[in-house]
Amino acid sequence: MPDHFEIGKTVLGRSIECLHFTPPDYAKEKPGAILFGAIHGDEPLGGYCLAELVKELLAMPPGRETWIVPALNLDGLAGGSKNNANDIDLNRSFASANFSTSYKPGYFPGEVAEGEPEAKALSQLIDETCATRLIALHSPFRTVNWDGSGEELALGMAEHNGYGASSDIGYPTPGSFGSKYGVDGGCEVITLEIPLLEQDEAWRQNRAALRFALDLPV
C-alpha cells in the first residue's frame, strides 16, 4: 500500500493529500516523479485521471518513486473557481525569475511569490523529495507542453495520447510552475493539457501517456 499523508492545508483548511508509491528495487535509482491536478479549481479532469491512475498503481507499482497529489486547489475545486479562496491564480504565484505582481484580470499572483499555502505545500514537497520529473494536469487545451528538460518525455507522452507536444503554450506565464521548475530549475516539467471531455474519455485518452511517464507497461 502507498504512504498516504498530508502536505499542507488550503486557505479554508482543507487537507491537501498526497500518495507516495515506492518502485521495485531495480528502479529506485531513477529520479522521482510528482504528478498533481487541479491547481486550477475549474479544471477537474486532471484530478479524475490521477485518481484512476492511483487505482492502477495499487495493482502494479510505478517504475520510479512517485508522489501523486490528486487535487492541489481544493477550495477552488469545491467552488468551481479557477483561483484559490484568496482569488489568487496559484499557477502565477511561484517564485520564478519571471514572477510579477503585474497581471491580467483573473490572474492575480499575490503580493509575494508563494504566499499561498497551496503553492508552499507543493514547493515543500518538491524540496523534500528532490523529484525532478514533474507533471501538472490541466485543461482545456489539447497538448503535452514541456519546460526545462522535458522535451523527450513530452514527445513520448504525445505519442500515446495523440495530442502533440509543444514548448510554447501561446501566451506569457510569469510565476508559473513551469517557469520555476522547468525554465529556472531545469527539471522535466510537463503540463498535460486535457481537452474538455467526459471523465471516462479523458482517462481513456491519457491512460497510456501517464503510465509511460511512470515507466509502466502501456
Question: Do residues 32 and 129 make contact, with C-beta atoms less than 8 angstroms apart?
Answer: yes
Average pLDDT over residues 139-143: 98
CA dist 171 and 92 (Å) reads 13
Residue tagged 484568496 (cell numbers): 86
Domains contained in the chain, CATH given: 3-213 (3.40.630.10)
C-alpha distance from residue 141 to each of 42, 109, 170, 171, 184 (Å): 13, 22, 11, 13, 24
pTM beyond 0.85 = yes
Mean pLDDT score across all residues of the chain: 97
Residue 93: predicted pLDDT: 98
User: Torsions phi, psi of 147, nearest 5?
Assistant: -135, 165
Confidence of residue 27 (pLDDT cuts 50, 70, 90): confident
The separation between the first and the last C-alpha atoms of the chain, rounded to the nearest angstrom, is 22
